[in-house]
Amino acid sequence: MSVLEESPSDGIGGLYPFLYAGRADMDSALAEANRSTAEKAAEIVRLRRRMAEESGAELAECAEEMALRFTSGGRLFTFGNGGSSTDAQEVATTFLHPSHGRPLPALSLTSDVAVVTALSNDVGFEVVFARQLAALARPGDIAFGLSTSGGSCNVVQAFEEAAHRGMLTVGLAGDQGGRLAELDLLDYLFIVPSSSVHRIQEAQTTVYHVLWELTQHALDSISVPRGHRSG
């Protein structure tokens, strides 16, 4: 951590003077950066609180529905694009390989690059998740899709396929919810009320972690024998 202890004048500007020579005062740039960071930290804390207030009851209900599916042998399929694809993978590994609690069958549809590129190349990017659900999913399974804008066409198509197959459908979106908010077929849609893609992703991370926690909690309370996993 030695670099952290250095004063601004001895830091990187000292190492590479040509990069900062004649440039705006780095101290004021640093002060502005610190102010901006504090503001954003406060913003995401407020946004999480708002999600708790506005969506807490529905999250609990959704987790109970998910727990019921898992106890009946249901599996979880997750999907999203870009940063949301990494969230889809996080959701899948959170359920499948949890830090505590029981492992549950979950698969991210963004992980198989061969399937994703084959479908994109041969058919179209809009079908990459829907086609996988058509091949892998059963009624009673869970479809979990993330989109910060709510407008991703492959996520929308996946939910249409999932609803058609009798899956439980859970969506995460941001801002106004985009096309996902206009779909009539979602069982649950959690919309993060922010116009910042970054803050939306951060709050969505909390939403799916809380959903996982609540699902584990609900499973503990459901008096159905275990061992229905079909993973």
Partner 1 sequence: MSAISTMKPAVSEAFARRDRAGRALADDAERIARACQEMAVLFRLGGKLIVFGNGGGGTDAAHIAVEFMHPVIVGKRALPAVALSNDAATVSGVGNDEGLAEVFAHQVRHWADTSDMALGISRDGRCANVLRGLETAKDQGLFTLALIGGDGGALARSPAVDHVLVAGSDDPAVVKEIHVTIYHLLWELVHVFFDQTGPLSGETPG
Per CB under 8 A, contacts with partner 1 among 139-178 are 148
User: Which residue, among 78, 142, 141, 135, has the nearest Cα to 111 in the 3D structure?
Assistant: 78
Vertex 48, ends 42 and 51: CA angle to 5°?
145
- Does 2 interact with partner 1 (rule: CB under 8 A)? yes
CA distance 158 to 145: 8
Instruction: Report whether 91 contacts 208 (CB < 8 A).
Output: yes
The residue count for binding partner 1 (CB under 8 A) is 71
Tokens for 86, please give them. 């990494």
**Min separation Cβ 225 and partner 1, Å:** 15
CA distance 180 to 183: 5
74, 87, 106, 189: which one binds partner 1 (CB under 8 A): 87
56, 103, 124, 139: which one binds partner 1 (CB under 8 A): 56
Kindly identify the residues of this chain, within the stretch 90-119, that bind partner 1 according to CB under 8 A: 90, 93-94, 97, 99
| Contact characters 173-202, partner 1, x per CB under 8 A | ------------------------xx--xx
**Min separation Cβ 142 and partner 1, Å:** 17
Kindly identify the residues of this chain, within the stretch 31-50, that bind partner 1 according to CB under 8 A: 32-38, 40-42, 44-45, 48-49
60, 153, 163, 183: which one binds partner 1 (CB under 8 A): 60
123, 136, 185, 222: which one binds partner 1 (CB under 8 A): 222
Tell me the DSSP string of 175-228.
TT-HHHHH-S--SEEEEE--S-HHHHHHHHHHHHHHHHHHHHHHHHH--S-S--
